Structures are given as structure tokens and as C-alpha cells.
């Protein structure tokens, strides 16, 4: 009996120690997981706040640029005259097209209003039958802006709900004559936040700012849901009463077995008064379920382990004392992999069962392994140096690291290892406690991916768009990273330089004259331009140039957006030129001939047409080979081009046949041109070909000619020239 009591005491002592150890481990694991979840929630809050600021700034800048465009680019004087005269009909005519255009360009755009310098509404484009009311009587923001004229963006509640508005004063000869107001529902902000974070977003308005005839239906705790911004649904109707609007740091809410983290952000009007809240509900069910599962599994494992341990210890206490100590029992029942490794030869001297199960090796197989056999660096380009790590461990006695563990079947998974240095009288060891961090890395990657999405929004202009701004003389004041990279210059070098630095000599003066005439008239210029890089190579861009105005309507410079169309231009060249000679091909020539015939018929002009081919060209190919034949075609192409005028159009018709359009020519001038070509060919070397001649068919444009008739006439004349002995020309 005494023996049994002692056994039970030992059993209970062991079980109590185990319970304490397991409880501490479970609590620490829970705290660690809870900390990870709180960190993820805080990162989400930070990223959502940053995104909200970016979206609000983008919305303000978008409305600001549209107002500057409306007031300064189109009928500026007429708009000012109508506003001074308070001509409502004329104002509606002048601004209606802008209102319709903005509704199509900006999602959620719904408000355009012009009011005079005293706050009296002149025209509501969104409500044409409502005007002449004094806005200062019921809109404190308007009253303040009229008293202190300025441009500003702010949230405000109207009769149709919440809207983001931007108002700017209108001056004529430095005298305030009125204001222009644009408004957008916040639906675009809601869509962007939902798209990036997969969250539910709702706008709530304080009771005192809700207009009595508005459409808001859901009311709770002094706030009303803005249904114009976000739709009411069963979810928000059930959740809303539980939201504490008095505390920005809100506890999580559980709804239909789902857990949501609540993020609140205040929204303000032009008087910096809080008029409502943005409520963002982030579904964190998966994270809370992980915590709950951790608790349940820990409790279940503890209960099961206690029951099993009790019966095993009670039945086989003597055997257990001989074969297994408590530390071994504990190590074999934790979820972490544990390795004891010699620092001398890096061999595994002991290992727990979890490591064997995870890696797929037996304990005997594991004890034959070196740690370097089943580990590698988490970074693919780096090699894991265990000798270096051992030296570091001896100095610090404890280090943490991340690496890859390799299973017996060659599959891999990431781990985080806590490594301790153990020294006995005659040996040294490393104790590694490794934990699978696959899920943790997935969470970190999600956070990093969301951070990268936000960074992309910030970098898109500089890294993707070909964008510059200049002063009124074309001197560069800003250049995007992408455009600087395209030109081959450093960005800092280009600041202050004139756009002429990119000018290509082939661009005609007329192009730049048209460009400056257009932008000097405060109009948008669109065109295609060839530029030269720093290294001398060329590129083509499609360019859009707009004037830039300050808040007072003064033009201060120009902005340009470009699209790289070099590949398009190269494809155009390939489609219109012969790949061997570089001349225009038959397709391009037919198009040019058609254009020339239309021009000649319209302006009563004449032009000459020449078709010629190389005499006995087949003999050259047969005697010297096709490479020499190709060289002859290239040489004759270059030789002919030296004689022709800049206005003449020269193309390869096919094989050894060529065609020429000689503008403003008659038969006499065509004959003289053919004589020049024959003389030039007679003194040109075509080695190894000793002698080469050509036969010509010539004709001039006649009234009623079409593409087919003039080609047929020249071709027939060429045929006659060949029949009459070659090396001559005939007139068709």
C-alpha cells in the first residue's frame, strides 16, 4: 500500500509539473498568436488610414484640376460675363456640357453649383429648377467660405446625403464675382477600400447634420447611415446598434459566427467640425478561429495527455522510470521539433519524436544525419554556414534564426529556430527548438502584399507614366523616373533643361510651330514626335500637352503625358518598306500612287510615272548566285536614290522591277531623268557583274487615269523597250 501511495505521489507530482509546463506553454503560445493578430489588425488600420488619405487627396486634386480646366480653358470671358450679370440661363448653357462630361468621367460625380459672392445660388446643374436661395442661411460652411474666400475641399451633408465637395472662388480683374462648387458621393472611396482590403465600409452622419427630408433610414446612437454612400443591408442594420461611436478604439464585434474588427475614422466639414464617421468592418474570423482552436486543442490535448499519462504511469511506473525521464516525455509531446547537435561534427545526437514525424525519418536515421543535410538558407541565393553559426552561438550562447527544413521526401517548409549553447564537462552541444512558420509567413506575405499595393499607388506616376512639367518657356520643372529612364539622362540633370535637349533633326519646323500655337492658345495639343536619347538612339512618343494654371487662373506652365510608340513606328516602317533594299514596298507605292492621282485630279497637276527592271537579271542569279543578285538590287537602289529629287517617290515593285513617281514632270523632263539614270548606272560598279543595263517604260498622268490604267501603260511601254533591244526607254 505504502508502495502504491508513493507511486501515486510520484504520478501526481509528475502530472502537476506537466500541467504547469503545458499550461505555461499554451498561455505563451496563445499570447504569441494574440500578439500576431493584434499586430496584423494595427497594420490594417494603418494601411486603411493611409489609403483613405491618398483617396481623399486624389479626389480633391481631381476636382481641383477639373475646376481649373472649366474656368480657364473654355469660354473664360463669357463665363465671367454671365456670372457678373447673374444670367442664369447663360450660365446653365456654358456649364451644362462640363457637368455632363464630369458625370461620365468621375464615378459618383453628382453636384455642380454656381453661386455669387454673397452666397446666393445662381445655377444648380444637378437640380436646374432650384436656385435663388441664400446658401449662407442653411450651410455654415458656405457662410464661412463667403466670409473668407478660399479654395477648399470638405465633406458636407446635403438633402441627398453626404458628399465630398470642392469650392473655389472666381475672380475677374482681382475682384471676387462668385464661386464654383463640385461634389462627388464617397462611393468611389468605398469601392477602393473594399477592393483592396475586402472589408465592409459604411458612412454614418451625426444626427445634427442630417437634413430632415434626407433619405437616411438607419439611425443608431446619434448617427445615421448614409445610404447614398453605402447601401443599407441586414448586416449593418444588425451591427449598427452595437457600435460605440463614442470610442474610436472599439472592441471586436461578433455577428452570425463571424468576428469583425471595427475601424472608425472621423470626417470633417470646412469648419473642421466632425460631421460623421467612416466605419470599416474587417473580417478577422479566421484569426479568431485560430485562437479559439488553439485553446480548444490545447485543452483537449491536455485532457487526453493527462488521462493517457495517468494510466501509463500507474501501470508501468517502474518501466517508465527506467526507460524514460520526464524531460524526454515532455519533449516528445510538444509541437516543436527539438534537436541536440554536436558542435564538433554537426551530427544529430538526439531528437524528439515531433522532429522525426515532421521530417519523415526514424530516430535511428536522424542520428546518422548532420544538421546541414536537412537544412538550408531561407534565402535561395545564400548558403547556410553552420560553422560560422556555431562560432556566433559560442559568443552569444543564444541565437534565433529562420531556415528551411527538408523532409525525407524532399519537400520543404520554413521554420524559426531558437538555438541554445550547452556545454558539459567533456562536450559541447547545440539545442535547437524549431517551429513550422508556414502560416506565419503567409500572414506576413499578405501584409507585405497589401503594403506593396499601396506603394504602387504612390509610385505609379514616377515609375510608369512618361510625365513632365515645364515653365512657360519649356524648361523642365519635373520629370518622372520612367521618362528620364527612356531618355537615358539622370533626372537631376534634366531639371532646368529645355525640352529642346530631346529634339530630333528630322522633325519639321511646322510641327513645333503648330505645337506652340496650340498651347499658347490654352488648348490641348496631341501629336506624335520623334526624339533622341542621350546615347544618340531615337524613340517615338505620342504626346499630350495641357496648360497648367494656378489658383488665380494664371497660366504658370505646361504638363505633358507621353506614350512610347517606338514599336508601333517600327512596325509601320516594316509594313511599308522592302526588307532587302530599304525602299518603299509595293503596298506603300500603290497607296502613294492613289493619293498622287487624287491630288493631280483635284489641283489639275501632272506627274511622271517610270517603271523599269534590270536586263537579264536571271542570268546574274544563275551565273553568280542569289547573294550577288541581292547585292546588285541594293546597289542599284542606292544609285537611283542619289539621282532622284526629295519629292520623288521610289519603290521596289517586285523582283528586279522598280517604280518611280516624279512629281510635277512632263515627258521631256522624264526623258532627261531616264538619261541621267542610264548614265549613272553605266559608271557604277556592280562587281563581280561586269556590265548591267536597265529597260524603262515611262508615261505621264492623264485626265481620267486611275491606279490600274497608268501602271498598265507604263508596264506596256517597258515591255516594248525590252522587245526593241533593251537598255532603252519607251513612252506609254
Question: Residue 461 has what pLDDT?
Answer: 59
Question: Residue 3 has what pLDDT?
Answer: 34
Q: Which long-range contacts (CB under 8 A, 24 or more apart) does 97-102 make?
A: 98/66, 98/70, 98/74, 99/125, 99/126, 102/66, 102/182
Alpha carbon distance 671, 570 (integer Å): 36
The answer to whether 202 touches 262, Cβ cutoff 8 Å, is no
pTM for this entry? 0.39
Question: Residue 460 has what pLDDT?
Answer: 65
Q: Is the dihedral of CA 494, 461, 503, 571 positive or negative?
A: positive
Question: Residue 570 has what pLDDT?
Answer: 78
Q: pLDDT tens-digit profile of 678-695?
A: 999 999 999 999 889 999
Question: Residue 317 has what pLDDT?
Answer: 60
Whether the predicted pLDDT of 300 surpasses 70? yes
198 Rama class: left (phi>0) / alpha (psi -120 to 50) / beta: left
- What is the rounded radius of gyration, in angstroms, for the C-alpha atoms of the chain? 42
Question: Residue 723 has what pLDDT?
Answer: 94
Whether the predicted pLDDT of 133 surpasses 80? yes
Determine the average pLDDT of the residues in 340-360.
90
User: Comparing 451-465, 553-567, 699-713, which segment has the lowest mean pLDDT?
Assistant: 451-465
Q: pLDDT tens-digit profile of 620-657?
A: 999 999 999 999 999 999 999 999 998 899 999 999 99
Q: pLDDT tens-digit profile of 233-265?
A: 777 777 777 787 776 665 677 877 778 888 888
Q: pLDDT tens-digit profile of 505-564?
A: 888 888 999 999 999 999 999 999 999 999 989 999 999 999 999 989 899 999 998 888
Whether the predicted pLDDT of 195 surpasses 60? yes
Please tell me whether residue 173 adopts helix, strand or coil conformation: coil
Triad 199, 205, 206: Cα angle to 5°? 135
Determine the average pLDDT of the residues in 54-66.
82
Question: Residue 2 has what pLDDT?
Answer: 31
Amino acid at each position: 500500500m505504502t508502495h502504491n501511495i508513493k507511486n501515486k505521489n510520484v504520478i501526481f507530482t509528475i502530472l502537476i509539473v506537466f500541467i504547469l509546463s503545458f499550461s505555461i506553454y499554451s498561455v505563451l503560445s496563445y499570447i504569441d498568436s494574440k500578439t500576431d493578430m493584434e499586430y496584423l489588425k494595427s497594420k490594417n488600420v494603418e494601411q486603411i488610414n493611409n489609403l483613405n488619405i491618398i483617396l481623399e487627396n486624389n479626389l480633391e486634386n481631381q476636382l481641383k484640376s477639373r475646376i481649373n480646366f472649366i474656368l480657364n480653358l473654355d469660354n473664360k470671358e463669357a463665363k465671367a460675363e454671365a456670372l457678373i450679370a447673374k444670367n442664369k440661363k447663360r450660365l446653365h448653357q456654358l456649364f451644362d456640357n462640363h457637368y455632363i462630361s464630369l458625370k461620365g468621367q468621375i464615378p459618383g460625380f453628382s453636384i455642380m453649383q454656381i453661386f455669387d459672392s454673397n452666397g446666393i445660388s445662381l445655377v444648380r446643374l444637378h437640380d436646374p429648377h432650384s436656385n435663388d436661395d441664400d446658401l449662407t442661411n442653411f450651410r455654415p460652411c458656405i457662410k464661412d467660405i463667403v466670409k473668407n474666400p478660399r479654395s477648399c475641399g470638405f465633406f458636407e451633408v446635403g438633402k441627398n446625403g453626404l458628399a465630398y465637395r470642392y469650392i473655389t472662388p472666381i475672380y475677374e480683374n482681382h475682384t471676387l464675382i462668385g464661386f464654383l462648387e463640385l461634389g462627388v458621393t464617397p462611393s468611389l472611396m468605398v469601392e477602393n477600400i473594399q477592393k483592396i482590403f475586402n472589408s465592409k465600409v459604411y458612412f454614418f452622419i451625426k444626427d445634427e447634420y442630417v437634413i430632415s427630408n434626407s433619405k437616411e433610414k438607419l439611425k443608431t446612437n446619434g448617427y445615421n447611415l448614409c445610404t447614398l454612400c453605402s447601401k443599407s443591408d441586414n448586416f449593418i442594420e444588425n451591427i449598427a446598434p452595437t457600435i460605440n461611436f463614442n470610442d474610436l478604439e472599439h472592441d471586436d464585434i461578433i455577428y452570425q459566427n463571424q468576428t469583425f474588427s471595427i475601424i472608425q475614422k472621423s470626417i470633417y466639414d470646412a469648419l473642421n467640425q466632425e460631421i460623421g464617421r467612416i466605419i470599416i468592418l474587417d473580417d478577422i474570423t479566421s484569426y479568431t478561429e485560430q485562437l479559439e482552436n488553439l485553446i480548444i486543442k490545447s485543452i483537449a490535448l491536455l485532457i487526453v495527455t493527462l488521462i493517457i499519462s495517468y494510466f501509463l504511469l500507474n501501470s508501468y511506473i517502474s518501466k517508465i522510470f527506467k526507460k524514460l525521464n520526464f524531460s524526454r516525455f515532455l519533449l516528445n509531446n510538444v509541437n516543436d521539433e527539438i534537436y541536440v547537435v554536436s558542435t564538433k561534427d554537426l551530427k544529430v545526437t538526439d531528437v524528439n519524436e515531433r522532429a522525426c514525424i515532421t521530417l519523415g525519418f526514424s530516430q535511428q536515421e536522424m542520428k546518422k544525419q548532420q544538421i546541414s543535410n536537412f537544412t538550408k538558407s531561407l534565402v535561395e541565393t545564400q548558403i547556410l554556414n553552420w560553422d560560422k553559426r556555431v562560432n556566433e552561438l559560442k559568443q552569444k550562447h543564444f541565437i534565433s534564426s529562420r531556415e528551411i527544413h527538408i523532409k525525407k521526401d524532399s519537400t520543404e517548409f520554413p521554420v524559426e529556430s531558437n538555438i541554445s549553447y550547452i556545454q558539459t564537462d567533456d562536450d559541447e552541444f547545440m539545442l535547437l527548438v524549431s517551429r513550422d512558420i508556414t502560416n506565419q509567413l503567409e500572414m506576413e506575405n499578405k501584409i507585405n502584399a497589401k503594403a506593396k499595393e499601396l506603394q504602387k499607388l504612390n509610385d505609379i506616376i514616377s515609375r510608369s507614366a512618361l510625365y513632365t512639367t515645364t515653365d512657360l518657356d519649356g524648361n523642365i520643372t519635373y520629370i518622372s523616373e520612367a521618362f528620364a529612364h527612356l531618355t537615358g539622362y539622370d533626372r537631376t540633370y534634366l531639371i532646368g533643361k529645355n525640352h529642346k535637349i530631346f529634339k530630333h533633326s528630322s522633325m519639321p519646323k511646322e510641327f513645333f510651330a503648330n505645337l506652340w500655337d496650340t498651347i499658347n492658345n490654352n488648348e490641348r495639343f496631341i501629336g506624335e514626335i520623334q526624339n533622341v536619347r542621350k546615347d544618340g538612339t531615337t524613340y517615338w512618343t505620342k504626346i499630350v500637352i495641357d496648360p497648367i494654371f494656378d489658383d488665380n487662373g494664371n497660366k504658370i506652365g505646361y504638363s505633358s503625358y507621353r506614350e512610347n510608340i517606338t514599336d508601333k513606328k517600327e512596325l509601320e516602317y516594316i509594313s511599308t518598306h522592302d526588307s532587302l533594299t530599304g525602299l518603299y514596298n509595293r503596298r506603300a507605292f500603290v497607296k502613294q500612287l492613289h493619293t498622287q492621282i487624287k491630288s493631280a485630279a483635284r489641283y489639275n497637276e501632272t506627274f511622271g510615272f517610270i517603271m523599269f527592271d534590270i536586263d537579264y537579271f536571271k542570268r546574274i542569279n544563275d551565273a553568280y548566285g542569289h547573294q550577288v543578285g541581292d547585292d546588285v538590287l541594293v546597289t542599284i537602289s542606292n544609285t537611283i536614290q542619289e539621282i532622284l529629287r526629295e519629292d520623288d517617290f521610289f519603290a521596289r515593285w517586285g523582283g528586279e522591277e522598280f517604280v518611280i513617281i516624279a512629281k510635277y514632270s512632263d515627258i521631256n523632263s522624264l526623258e532627261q531623268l531616264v538619261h541621267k539614270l542610264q548614265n549613272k548606272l553605266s559608271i557604277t560598279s556592280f562587281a563581280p557583274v561586269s556590265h548591267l543595263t536597265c529597260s524603262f517604260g515611262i508615261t505621264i498622268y492623264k485626265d481620267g487615269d486611275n491606279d490600274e490604267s497608268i501602271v498598265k501603260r507604263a508596264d506596256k511601254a517597258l515591255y516594248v523597250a525590252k522587245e526593241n533591244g533593251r537598255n532603252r526607254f519607251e513612252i506609254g
